[in-house]
Amino acid sequence: MSRISETFEALRSRGEGAYIPYVCAGDPNREFSLRAIQTLCASGADIVELGLPFSDPIADGPVIQGSMQRSLSAGFKVEHIFDLISRARSDGVNQPVVVMSYLNPVLRYGVPEFVRRLAGSGGDGLLLVDVPLEESEAIDRLAAENGIDTVKLVAPSTEDSRLGNILAKATGFVYVVSVSGTTGTRDSLHDDALGLVSRVAARSRVPVALGFGVSKPEHVSAAMRAGASGVVEGSRLISLYSDSLGNLEAGLSRMAAHARQMKDATSLR
């Protein structure tokens, strides 16, 4: 059983869902990214989703686009993400780490070497947001050979006939996208998103996590009631420090307080 699967199993036995914060690696610098991971893991994060910056992040909204641009401007390279994960492990971070990336930087680096180094650094999962299911077989096989889970996306536009194929290939967990469009905070979760969670959870053999727009404890509670096993949050977290880049310590404090509130809302009891 993978570390991701073990985490969800332990949470289920305690009557909790998974809080999965997303941060873009290298924003605004590598040292802050390490501290952000440490802070979030000490404040309730069950799994960390670590974004690999890319120059054309078509699935992301302005907050994450800005985060990626700051990281790239600071000189972040693909190989730095492996060092970041290794350092987090050396500093006592035990939570699973899933790297979320677009395909282009992984291809340029070399898929076999990327997967090998991800596993060697202590990474646990890989989510490639723009790889069609029909083209993922070789990457999925390499990942499995290296003990890396491959997280798959389900969107509101996903048809039932295609959903079965996605669920058959997903390992670790399935990431349900709450809305068509890009990442970003939203005031509420639409009933259609919660209905999609319920539909996917009823058919999935792996846990289901809801993302895109999750930013409030009440969003977490609603997702849990709908059948989600976890939630992914990114844009709101990033804004807690990016709105005041001149005072990153205060940003870390805000992230910690917010993470605790979000984690508390995952209780299923």
Pairing of strands 174-177, 208-211: parallel
Task: State the Cα torsion 173-32-87-68 to the nearest 10°.
Answer: 50
> Tell me, what's the pLDDT at 183?
56
Average pLDDT over residues 116-129: 99
Strands 152-154 and 149-150: unpaired
For residue 211, pLDDT beyond 80: yes
Count of CB atoms situated within 10 Å of the CB of 58:
10
Q: Class assignment of domain 3-262?
A: alpha beta
**Tokens linked to 15:** 């009557």
| Number of Cα atoms under 13 Å in the Cβ half of residue 162 | 11
CA 96 to chain centre: 10
Does the pLDDT of residue 187 top 60, yes or no? no
Selected catalytic residue, list 16, 60, 149, 233:
60
The dihedral through the CA atoms of 34, 251, 181, 20 has a sign that is: positive
What DSSP state is assigned to residue 263? H
Does the pTM of the predicted model rise above 0.85?
yes
The pLDDT of residue 146 is: 99
- Residue 49 is a catalytic residue: yes
pLDDT of residue 181: 53
- Inform me whether the pLDDT recorded for 178 exceeds 90: no
Give residue limits of the domains in the chain.
Answer: 3-262
Kindly report the average pLDDT of the chain as a whole number.
95
61 pLDDT band (50/70/90 cuts)?
A: confident
pLDDT for the residue 185: 52
**Chain segment 191-206, per-residue pLDDT in tens:** 889 999 999 999 999 9
Q: What is the arrangement of strands in the sheet containing 174-177, beginning at the earlier edge strand? A: 149-150, 125-128, 97-101, 48-51, 18-24, 230-233, 208-211, 174-177, 152-154
Annotated catalytic residue within 16, 27, 46, 49 = 49
